[in-house]
Amino acid sequence: MNDSTGPRSALQRSLPVVGEPRPERADARRNRLRVLEAAERLFTERGVKNVSLDAIAAEAGVGKGTVFRRFGDRAGLAVALLDEREQELQAKIISGPPPLGPGAPPAVRVLAFLDAYLDLLDRHVALFMDSENASDGARYRIGSYHLWHRHLSHLIEAARPELDADYTAHVLLAPLAADLHNALREQGYDLDRMKTGLRAVATSLLPA
């Protein structure tokens, strides 16, 4: 095996970059991966709601404190697990082909986003619920919420500059709350009905 950190110049050694924190310690990394693996395994085995953080810590072979230090709380763990899936959508939005990616007219991109998000949400409702509801207002503190919000906000600004784009973006994101999605699912709604309904609302709001 090669040593991954080669020799460093005196300058490099004597001037640690401020603001850029040390790289993750080896044991920290090992445990982080263990916990994520254990969580994923238990969640799919027993369902998100039926797994305590104690159980995850035990399954991962680490202490409870470790889980909390890494992820803050239950919501944080759920966020970490969702991250991967959300990044895929984020990538498509930033640099994928239209209509999700740049190139299509703003109103069309909004419709494409809502559709894509509903798909994602529907596939991972339980995880989303955990990440959004585990603590009060968690949804609005998560990085990805801000990303979706900024995206919509720009598109709304472009399509209808006379609206309060920032607020309107929150309004469009509101019906994507995991809680609501789950409640509608339970009362018999299917995914297509929501897609169609939301598309109709967005179309009224942002005529093409």
Q: Which two tokens stand for residue 93?
A: 């939005």
Backbone angles phi, psi at 184, to 5 degrees: -65, -40
Reported for 193-196, long-range contacts at CB under 8 A and 24+ positions apart, including other chains, are 194/118, 195/114, 195/115, 195/118
Options 6, 7, 19, 21; binder of DNA; rule CB under 7 A = 21
How many residues make contact with DNA (CB under 7 A)?
Answer: 30
Scan residues 35-74 and list those touching DNA (CB under 7 A): 52-55, 61-66, 68-70, 73-74
Q: Are 109 and 206 in contact (CB under 8 A)?
A: no
Closest distance of CB 143 from DNA, Å? 18
Closest distance of CB 88 from its own copies, Å? 25
Work out what residue 68 binds among its own copies, DNA, none; the CB cut-off runs from 5 to 8 Å by kind: DNA
Closest CA to 96 of 119, 83, 112: 112
Binding status of residue 28 toward DNA by CB under 7 A: yes
> Between 46 and 85, how does the x/- string for binding to its own copies read (CB under 8 A)?
---x------------------------------------
The stretch near its own copies (CB under 8 A) out of 7-15, 31-39, 73-81, 184-192 is 184-192
Scan residues 78-97 and list those touching DNA (CB under 7 A): none
Q: Which two tokens stand for residue 103?
A: 């190139």
- Nearer residue to its own copies within complex by CB, 12 or 52: 52
Please tell me the distance from the alpha carbon of residue 134 to that of residue 82, in angstroms, as a whole number.
14
The stretch near its own copies (CB under 8 A) out of 13-21, 54-62, 83-91, 171-179 is 171-179
CA atoms within 13 A on the CB side of 135: 12
Binding status of residue 194 toward its own copies by CB under 8 A: yes
Which residue shows structure tokens 């090669």?
2
- Nearer residue to DNA within complex by CB, 63 or 98: 63
Q: Are 194 and 177 in contact (CB under 8 A)?
A: no
Please tell me the distance from the alpha carbon of residue 118 to that of residue 112, in angstroms, as a whole number.
10
Please tell me the distance from the alpha carbon of residue 147 to that of residue 154, in angstroms, as a whole number.
11
Work out what residue 125 binds among DNA, its own copies, none; the CB cut-off runs from 5 to 8 Å by kind: none
Binding status of residue 123 toward DNA by CB under 7 A: no
Residue ranges binding DNA (CB under 7 A): 5, 13, 21-28, 30-31, 52-55, 61-66, 68-70, 73-75, 134-135
